[in-house]
Copies of this chain bind each other. A is one copy, B any other.
Amino acid sequence: MTNHRIRDDYQSVRKYSEDLCAPLETEDYIPQPVPFVSPPKWHLAHSTWFFETFILKQFKPGYQEYDPDFNYLFNSYYNNIGERTLRTDRGNVTRPTTKAVYAYRQHVDRCMVELLESEQDEHTLSLVTLGLHHEQQHQELLVTDIKYILGHNPLFPVYKENHNLLSGKNTDTGFLKISEGVYDIGFAGDGFCFDNELGRHKVFLHEFEISKSPVTTGEYIEFMNAGGYSDFNLWLDEGWSWVNENSIQSPMYWHKVKGEWHYYTLAGLQKVDPYAILGHVSYYEAAAFAQWKQMRLPTEFEWEIASVNLDWGQRWEWTNSAYLPYPGFSKAPGAVGEYNGKFMINQMVLRGASVATSPNHARRTYRNFFHAPERWQYTGIRLAK
C-alpha cells in the first residue's frame, strides 16, 4: 500500500471516531459504569496514544512527547510500555478535559500526516495499518460503550434519531448443508489481518447444516415464553448461576413496559420488533437457546467455511469454539505481541461482524472474542445441526 493511500485511510478512520462522538454531551465522555465499558474520552485518547507511542516516538525524527502523563493515563494493557491507570479507574479521570483530548488528537494527527507524507518503510506502514485497525476496533467499542452509558440512564436519552441498530431483518430462511471434508482455515492473501488469524491450517469437518439467517427477537420471545430462563436443564452450569445471581430474564436493554417488551436502542426506547435480528445476548443465552431448539452453535471453523455462502454482518455470532491459538501461532516480540495472544483463555470466539462494526473492518477469517457472560456488544445467534 502506498503512503498516500495510507494517509487518506488514516484521515478517514480518525475522522470517523470523532463523527461517532459528535452527538455526545461533554458529560457523556466521562463515566465508566462497569469495568468492561470505557469512557468515550478514554477511547479517543487511547487510540491516539497508540499512534504516538508505537509510530511517532519510534519513527518520527525529533518527535517530542506531547505530555508524559498521557502515557500513564492512556495505556490500556501493554505491560511492556509501563505503569498505567487501573482499568477500573478510567471513569474518574476528569482531566485532561475532553477539549484537551481533542487537541491531543489534532497534534498527533498533524504529526502523523507529516510522517505519512514522507517515504516510510514497510514495517512502519504495517504498524500504521495496525493502528488503524486498532482504532476501528475502538470505534465499535465506542458505539457499544456509548449505548451502555446512555442505555443505563433512567432517562433513556436518544443518541441519534433513526439510529436503531437493531432493526436489520433476515433475508433468507432454511439451512445450508456443507459436506464433509478437509478445509483450509485462517487468513490467506495480501491485505491486513490480525496475528490470531494467521497460521492457516487444515481442519476436518463432518457434514453439517447451518441456518441461513440469525435468530430473530420473535423466535427468542418464544423461548422466553416457554420458560427458557427458568429451566435449568437448558443451561450450562455457569450460565444457570449467572441467570440466578443476576436475575436475568431477557436480553440486555430489554424492559417490560405496560406488559410489552421494549428495548433501548440508540434512537431511544422502542417496542421490540419481532422480525428484527436478536442482539445483546450472552454465550450462555445463545447456548441455552440452541439447546432448547435441540440444535447447537456452529464451531468457528464451520462458520468460516459456510460464510462464503451466507449474508452476514448484522451481529457478532457466538460460536462453540474457545478462543485458542491456531497451530503455528506465534506472537510478535514486545508490546505489539500483547495484542491478542495473551487473551487466549476462557473466552469464546464470535464470528461475523455487527451493525456497529466500522466500514471495511470485517473479514471472513476475523476472530472476535468475549467472555461468556458479556452481551453489551451486538451479539446474536446462528444455529447449526
List the interface of chain A (C-beta within 8 A of B).
25-31, 33, 41, 69, 72-73, 77, 79-80, 85, 89, 91-98, 149-150, 152-155, 157, 182, 201-204, 206, 208, 232-233, 235-240, 283-284, 287, 296, 320-322, 324-325, 327-328, 337, 342-346, 372
Dominant secondary structure of chain A at its interface with chain B: mixed
* Beta-carbon contact of A325 and B296 below 8 Å: yes
Cβ-defined contact, A27 with B97, below 8 A: yes
Asked whether, in the complex, the Cβ of B94 is within 8 Å of the Cβ of A152, the reply is: no
Given contacts A154-B73, A320-B325, A322-B324, contact A25 B94 (CB under 8 A): yes
Extra contacts, 7 of them, besides A238-B345, A321-B324 (Cβ < 8 A), are A85-B154, A92-B149, A92-B152, A94-B149, A239-B345, A322-B322, A322-B324
CB of A86 to closest CB in B, whole Å: 11
* Chain B residues within 8 Å of A337, by CB: 233
* Cross-chain contact A235 with B346 (CB below 8 angstroms): no
Cβ–Cβ < 8 Å partners of A153 in chain B: 92-95
Inside 8 A of A320's CB, which chain B residues have their CB?
324-325
CB distance from A88 to the nearest CB of B (A): 10
Nearest B residue to A384, CB-CB: B327
Of B26, B95, B342, which contacts A235 at CB under 8 A? B342
From B26, B157, B287, B322, A27 is in contact (CB under 8 Å) with B26
Closest to A156 in B: B95
Q: Which residues of B contact A237 (CB under 8 A)?
A: 77, 342-343, 345
Check B89–A232 contact: CB distance below 8 A. Answer: no
The complex places the Cα of A326 from the Cα of B343 at a distance, in Å, of 24
CB distance from A291 to the nearest CB of B (A): 9
Which residue of the partner chain B has the closest CB to A343?
B237
Question: Shortest distance in angstroms between A317's beta carbon and chain B's nearest beta carbon?
Answer: 16
CA distance A150 to B150 in the complex (A): 25
Give the docked Cα–Cα distance between A206 and B204 (Å).
Answer: 11
Q: A29: which B residues are within 8 A, CB to CB?
A: 27
Would A238 and B346 be within 8 Å (CB), given that A80-B233, A202-B206 are in contact?
yes
**A154 near B72: Cβ-Cβ < 8 Å:** yes
A206 and B343 CA atoms in complex are apart in Å by: 24
The distance from the CB of A31 to the nearest CB of chain B, in whole angstroms, is 5
Chain B residues contacting A85 (CB-CB under 8 Å) are 154
**Distance, CA A74 to CA B282, complexed state (A):** 32
Select from chain B the residue with minimum beta-carbon distance to A27: B94
Residue of B nearest to A28 (CB): B94
Residue pair B155, A182 in contact (C-beta under 8 Å): no
Contact A203–B204 (Cβ < 8 Å):
yes
Name A30's contact: one of B27, B232, B236 (CB within 8 Å): B27
